[in-house]
A = this chain, B = another copy of it.
């Protein structure tokens, strides 16, 4: 009967100022609305559509900024890593190491992340690849467990559905929850429309899908936010405007409370 966790922040570290401004505002909201909130921002977007896309400040400078967020706001922070050598430095600063969906089958990355999380008392958040059935996430879980780590999160972020579109099979959530780790629903990347000159998105669908996921029992919501998404350097079309974050989170909490209340009251045995 835990409250929802919110993992949120701008997609990429555009500047120290943007990051700190956003984090301070999120910390205020978390405090006022009594939210469990973790600040997320990427130091490097390593798989952008084009070489001309903005990638971020890189590992070292990025971690400095995230450390400042932690110090100034008291929020725990998380970021995504792309190569094994990034795991230990990131784990020194970040409570949660996020494994990108495209990379969630790379054994060496899971190993490095697991070992770094063990060393720094951290958590590894594995994103379900777009090309993997929910049942098959168990392999990534077992890999991390084989490296000694059992503080894991699993994140649903949509499955490939034809070309240029993802679909959320909401059955993922109860299926993945049976594997043990809490399950996070990534509303931001689920509404991406990949392909074309740059990846687009359907931001207006975020509350619908996030409520659906909460009603299915997810333990947290991942939703990127930005003070002005129309000016964002990455994922603008699928981030929440920061002004909408508080009302979004309150709504999600109310669905979570109801889910907690009814939980188990009408399970249906399988056929």
Which of A's residues lie within 8 Å of B, judged by CB?
Answer: 46-52, 55, 82-84, 102-103, 105-108, 129-133, 135-136, 139, 142-143, 146-147, 159-165, 167-171, 173-174, 194-196, 200-209, 211-217, 229-230, 236-238, 240-241, 244, 247-248, 250-251, 254-255, 258-259, 261-262, 265-271
Contacts and interface: CB of A to CB of B under 8 A. Distances in A.
A79 to B, nearest CB: 17
A216 B211 contact: yes
Contact of A212 (B49, B108, B131, B215): B215
A269 B108 CA distance: 35
Chain B CB within 10 Å, residue with most, of A108, A163, A164, A258: A163
Contact of A165 (B82, B162, B236): B162
Contact of A254 (B108, B201, B262): B262
B254 A207 contact: no
22 contacts: A47-B106, A51-B107, A51-B143, A82-B106, A82-B108, A102-B102, A102-B129, A133-B164, A133-B195, A159-B160, A159-B167, A161-B161, A167-B167, A168-B169, A171-B209, A201-B271, A202-B270, A206-B268, A241-B268, A244-B266, A255-B258, A258-B258
Given A131-B131, A132-B195, A244-B268, 18 more contacts: A47-B105, A49-B105, A51-B143, A51-B146, A55-B107, A83-B84, A132-B194, A133-B164, A159-B167, A171-B202, A171-B208, A200-B271, A203-B268, A206-B268, A207-B268, A214-B215, A237-B271, A255-B258
Given A161-B162, A268-B203, A139 B49 contact: yes
A125 to B, nearest CB: 18
B108 A46 contact: yes
Contact of A195 (B135, B169, B195, B247): B135
A163 B160 contact: no
A164 B133 CA distance: 7
Given A55-B107, A82-B106, A202-B171, A196 B268 contact: no
Nearest to A204: B270
